[in-house]
Amino acid sequence: MTQMVRTKPKQGVVAVVGLLCALAWLNLSMPSMLMAGASAVPKEAQAAFEKKAYQQVLDELAKLDKDKAAAPDVRRLKIRSLINLGKPKEALDEYDLLAQSLKRDDEPVLREVALGLIVVLVKDMREQMRGAAYTALKEIDSRDAVPLFEDGLSDGSGPVRVLAVEGLGRSEAGRKSKKLRGAIEDQAGLVKARVVKVLGRSGDSSVLPLIEAAAKDELSPVRIAAYAALIRLGKKEAWDELRKVADAANPDDRTDAMRAIADLKDQRGAPLMMELLTYAQPSVRGTAARGLGQLGRKEAREKIEVLLKDPIPAVRESAVSSLAELGAVESVPAIKQLLGDGQVTVRAAAVASLLQLGQSFEMVAETARALAQQSDTASRASIAFALGKATKSNAKAAVIFLSGLTADSLPGPKIVALRSLGHIGDREVIPLMMEGMHDTNEAVRATAAGGLLHLLQSNP
- Section 270-277 average pLDDT: 96
d(CA 16, CA 116): 9
- Section 43-49 average pLDDT: 95
- Section 302-317 average pLDDT: 97
Residue whose C-alpha is closest to residue 250's, from 210, 206, 291, 281: 281
Which pLDDT value is given to residue 39? 60
Question: DSSP state, 206?
Answer: G
Q: Could you please report the per-residue DSSP string of 36-57?
A: TTGGGS-HHHHHHHHTT-HHHH
In which residue ranges of the chain is CATH 1.25.10.10 found? 128-245, 356-460
Q: Is the pLDDT of residue 369 over 50?
A: yes
Residue type, 150: E
Which pLDDT value is given to residue 32? 43
Residue whose C-alpha is closest to residue 80's, from 42, 40, 118, 53: 53
Confidence at 195, pLDDT banded by 50, 70, 90: very high
The arrangement of secondary structure in 356-460, i.e. its CATH architecture, is Alpha Horseshoe (1.25)
Q: Is the pLDDT of residue 34 over 70?
A: no
pLDDT of 151-166, one tens digit each?
A: 999 999 999 999 999 9
The arrangement of secondary structure in 128-245, i.e. its CATH architecture, is Alpha Horseshoe (1.25)
Percent of the chain with pLDDT over 90: 89
- Section 228-237 average pLDDT: 96
Which pLDDT value is given to residue 140? 85
Q: Is the pLDDT of residue 29 over 70?
A: no
Confidence at 412, pLDDT banded by 50, 70, 90: very high
Confidence at 6, pLDDT banded by 50, 70, 90: very low
Q: Is the pLDDT of residue 7 over 60?
A: no
- Average pLDDT of the chain is 91
Percent of the chain with pLDDT over 70: 92
Burial class of residue 178, CB neighbours in 10 A (0-12, 13-18, 19+): exposed
Which pLDDT value is given to residue 422? 94
Q: Is the pLDDT of residue 268 over 80?
A: yes
**CB 378: neighbour CB atoms within 10 A?**
14
Q: Is the pLDDT of residue 426 over 50?
A: yes
Q: Is the pLDDT of residue 171 over 50?
A: yes
Confidence at 24, pLDDT banded by 50, 70, 90: very low
Q: Is the pLDDT of residue 377 over 80?
A: yes
- Section 91-98 average pLDDT: 97
Q: With contact defined as beta carbons under 8 Å apart, do 151 and 15 qualify?
A: yes
Q: Is the pLDDT of residue 20 over 90?
A: no
Which pLDDT value is given to residue 142? 75
Confidence at 143, pLDDT banded by 50, 70, 90: confident
Which pLDDT value is given to residue 35? 43
Residue whose C-alpha is closest to residue 330's, from 298, 365, 296, 361: 298
Q: Could you please report the per-residue DSSP string of 68-115?
A: HHTSHHHHHHHHHHHHHTT-HHHHHHHHHHHHHHHTS--HHHHHHHHH
Q: Is the pLDDT of residue 139 over 70?
A: yes
